[in-house]
Structure 1
Amino acid sequence: MLRNHRFITVLYFLLIPFSVFSQSKPSFRIVPLGVLGGIDESNLSAYMVAAAGTNNYVCMDAGTLHYGIQQAVDNKVFSIPTEQVLRQYIKGYCISHAHLDHIAGLIINSPDDTAKNIYALASTIQTIKTHYFTWDSWANFGDDGEAPTLKKYHYQILTPDSIIPIKNTGMTVQVFPLSHSNLTSTAFLVNSNDAYILYLGDTGADDIEKSHNLHKLWQAVAPLVKSKKLKAIMIETSFPDEQPDKTLFGHLTPHWLMAEMDDLASLTGTDALKGFNVIITHLKPPQTSIYKIKLQLFNENKLNLNLIYPQQGEVIDL
């Protein structure tokens, strides 16, 4: 009976409207276009991010675009048609890696899109050029690769040692490599007027991946956490804890997410993370697994992080 009561309490907590947690003077507006990782092609990783008070968005990954924008329009987030949001409000794309659940929407919507930049590591851009924007697979809407090039998208190669402007947004971005099984994924640190959002593509835990990439990332952002300039970390939790480590394939579980948050806390102090916003992305269906992930995160949240579960087409102001 006590166990059932606890589960009901967790569900009530998870259903509280996000506005309860929103700040009075937000720095960013996030519009989730797709929040899951897995079999539902209408709801795959994509998040529009803009400086508060503007409609100049960059899209962090692009697994689902049109359907997610339509959900946002239906929710009165945008007052213009879906096609105009795609063409006018999205100023560019930050692609963490080239797996289909992070880029399919960009490819499918490219004929109706407008000219803009694709920001990514060189390895990610290479895959886009050689596997997707080719005349055998689709059409080459890029400005490099197989001829003829339609030059709709400009490939902006990012390197971890540089901070570059995101064109037409007033924001900048810096990248950090992540370990995702057999390839390199990416974390994007977005800056607007000295406020920051950190978005991570798919990533495994350092201990599983035999890597130091996440620790290096936490070292870089720890000062921003302590100064309260970092408004949120957007990070995946794909599987419940029952998933064996050997079949995580470069993803996190609640246990491994909290292990990484403990590593961050070792650099910031635990007080700095109390109430800190952590937006949980890339939960993999089925729904029973998603319920398990949320319950396990609730139970393992010893740092008292503010865990946020984005909903497709519903605004998050931070």
Structure 2
Amino acid sequence: MEPLGSGGGPKEDNTTALLVRSTAQEWTKGSILAVDAGVQLGKITRILDDHLPDVKVRPAIVTSGPFKGLALPHASSAANAVHVTGTLVDTYLITHPHLDHISGFVVNTASLTRAKRLAGLPKTIKAFKEHIFNNIIWPNLSDENDGAGLVTYMRLVEGGSPALGNGDDKGYMEICDGLTVKAWSVSHGHCIEKHTHRGSSASLHPVVDAAGVPLIDASPLGRSISSGARSPKHPRNSRMSPHPASNYAAAYSQPTETREETCVYDSSAYFIRDIATGREILVFGDVEPDSISLHPRNQRVWIDAAPKVASGKLGGVFIECSYDDSQEDSMLFGHMAPRHLIMELRILATEVEASKQEQQETKKRKRQSNGDSLDHPNRRHSPRGAARQGSPLPNMQASPVSPLTQCRLPDILPPDNDSIPEKFSTAPLNGVKVVLIHIKEKLNDGPDEGDIILGQLKEYEEEIGLGCEFVISREGQAVFL
């Protein structure tokens, strides 16, 4: 994995863009997958400037840096960058169509000499069709609606295609040479205005009490919000700020046909698997914490990830942490701060412990019953199975019947805080690198924002004992997993 852009703005030359390649593959046509493309050709040129071999014979082999081992056919970095994007990258996997995730790809289409695939969930593709390649914002370079045919849309299936793969490979789609992918949708905040819904499948107001105080705990240590308990290390941030929409009961007492609704914006999370080794990484687009989301969906991603962590197959989670803990909840705009990321990882860790226990029980049952363990009464349901049955998974508590549950039943119900340990003795995320992306630079004379965020996460980790390693994503610095 190579981050081309690791920031979340405001600098336009460091927005989100990642290059992914299976190290079991050679540097060949179609061997690189681009995940988001806020920057692209210009940043690759800059990286090659730092590592271009000083030899006259071509092709020249790069001996250092993220493109180590790549044969460069040209003398200039710019020409070689065009070779990388034009030949080695076949597919652009987009998490969501915000400009800081797509602008490099869109502008670079002017240099395309052969068709590329643009992959994403259907709503992402729809946004490109209607708002980007529409002959207004940009020429229609796609192969739909009488376009130029330089971009082919590849629509992914939420949760994986049921027609692809068997067993552990079920649902994964081959996305480029050596890599397969499975997609989940996640929430990236909500629109400020109220209008006819155009985002995800949920239009919700938050769960709050009569005074307008949210009832879902955003504290990284899981302390009850109603008690007013505060974290000793980050006292300003344990308690959530009141959400702009004040009272869900009042909101849902309005007739359906007159009630204003809030639009939730969709982003994506991708499991990317190396076909040769079975190893995986999990890459999130911009995402907000379930604890303050109007449509919480991270939980099903963590449930899918847990057995992969438990078996040692998931080596890295690339996830945003845009702000430090001084940012109030009301000013997150669909992003996360360390207190939220730690809570999300605590949920993952809880699922990993449950998955390890299940794996041990399954092995024991197989030894006792010659492998027939599918109908054991303690077997946990898959996330998709739980959604079909309409029942919560173990370690989760259904909310009482209310106007909220009448309007929306989520795929996965949020966990009860009492079921999430405040401290882990087993380091359940040991061996997992949590790579922080989309950090928003403050551009002042103060300390580096990434260093502040990293320090706060390490404080939480020391207290909670997750066992994971936090890494700040730096542009042009390869991450091997």
Give the TM-score, by structure 2 length.
Answer: 0.58
Partner of 2:89: 90
The alpha carbon displacement at 1:167 in A equals 4.4
The alpha carbon displacement at 1:244 in A equals 0.8
Matches within 5 A, 1:134-213: 134-145=134-145, 148-161=146-159, 162=161, 163-182=171-190, 183-193=265-275, 194-213=278-297
**Which deviations, in whole Å up to 9, do the C-alpha atoms of 1:115-157 show, x marking residues without a partner?**
1211111111111111111211121111124xx4011111111
1:264 corresponds to 2:348:
yes
The alpha carbon displacement at 1:214 in A equals 0.8
**Which deviations, in whole Å up to 9, do the C-alpha atoms of 1:281-303 show, x marking residues without a partner?**
00001154333212212222232
Partner of 1:300: 460
Unmatched tracts of structure 2, length 5 or more:
52-66, 73-79, 162-170, 191-264, 354-425
Instruction: Report the secondary structure of 1:295's partner residue.
Output: helix
> Distance in 2 between the 1:34 and 1:79 partners?
23
Pick aligned residue for 1:64 from 26, 35, 39: 39
The alpha carbon displacement at 1:310 in A equals 2.0
The alpha carbon displacement at 1:166 in A equals 3.6
**How many correspondences in the alignment?**
287
Partner of 2:334: 250
Contact kept, 8 Å, 1:117 with 1:167, in 2: the verdict is no
Partner of 2:216: none
The alpha carbon displacement at 1:74 in A equals 2.8
Deviates more, 1:131-140 or 1:178-187: 131-140
> Distance in 1 between the 2:293 and 2:102 partners?
23
Matches within 5 A, 1:281-300: 281-286=437-442, 288=447, 289-300=449-460
Contact kept, 8 Å, 2:33 with 2:176, in 1: the verdict is no
The alpha carbon displacement at 1:79 in A equals 4.4
Instruction: Report the secondary structure of 2:37's partner residue.
Output: coil
| Identical-residue share of aligned pairs (%) | 30
1:224 corresponds to 2:308:
yes
> Distance in 2 between the 1:89 and 1:102 partners?
20
The structure where helix makes up a greater share of residues is 1
Structure 1 residues 130, 259: closer, same or farther in 2, change over 3 A? same
Instruction: Report the secondary structure of 1:316's partner residue.
Output: coil
Contact kept, 8 Å, 1:91 with 1:167, in 2: the verdict is no
Partner of 1:103: 102
Partner of 2:122: 122
> Distance in 1 between the 2:131 and 2:172 partners?
26
**Which deviations, in whole Å up to 9, do the C-alpha atoms of 1:266-314 show, x marking residues without a partner?**
1113433124211100000115433321221222223232111122112
Instruction: Report the secondary structure of 1:278's partner residue.
Output: strand
1:310 corresponds to 2:473:
yes
Partner of 1:278: 434
The alpha carbon displacement at 1:230 in A equals 0.6
Partner of 1:11: none
**Which deviations, in whole Å up to 9, do the C-alpha atoms of 1:164-190 show, x marking residues without a partner?**
534441211110110101311000111
The alpha carbon displacement at 1:259 in A equals 0.4
> Distance in 1 between the 2:135 and 2:295 partners?
37
Structure 1 residues 258, 167: closer, same or farther in 2, change over 3 A? closer
Contact kept, 8 Å, 1:58 with 1:166, in 2: the verdict is no
The alpha carbon displacement at 1:53 in A equals 3.8
Structure 1 residues 314, 74: closer, same or farther in 2, change over 3 A? farther
Which protein shows a greater Rg? Answer: 2
Structure 1 residues 295, 170: closer, same or farther in 2, change over 3 A? same
**Highest RCO, 1 vs 2 (Cα 8 Å, sep ≥ 6):** 1
Contact kept, 8 Å, 1:71 with 1:312, in 2: the verdict is no
> Distance in 2 between the 1:317 and 1:74 partners?
22
> Distance in 2 between the 1:275 and 1:167 partners?
26
Contact kept, 8 Å, 1:172 with 1:190, in 2: the verdict is yes
Partner of 1:3: none
Query: What is the identity, as a one-letter code, of the residue corresponding to 1:257?
Result: L
The alpha carbon displacement at 1:222 in A equals 0.3
Contact kept, 8 Å, 1:240 with 1:253, in 2: the verdict is yes
Instruction: Report the secondary structure of 2:428's partner residue.
Output: helix
Structure 1 residues 172, 275: closer, same or farther in 2, change over 3 A? closer
Unmatched tracts of structure 1, length 5 or more:
1-29
Give the TM-score, by structure 1 length.
Answer: 0.86
Instruction: Report the secondary structure of 1:301's partner residue.
Output: helix
Query: What is the identity, as a one-letter code, of the residue corresponding to 2:450?
Result: I
> Distance in 1 between the 2:49 and 2:174 partners?
28
**Which deviations, in whole Å up to 9, do the C-alpha atoms of 1:68-114 show, x marking residues without a partner?**
21233234325421110110111201100000000000100011123
The alpha carbon displacement at 1:192 in A equals 1.3
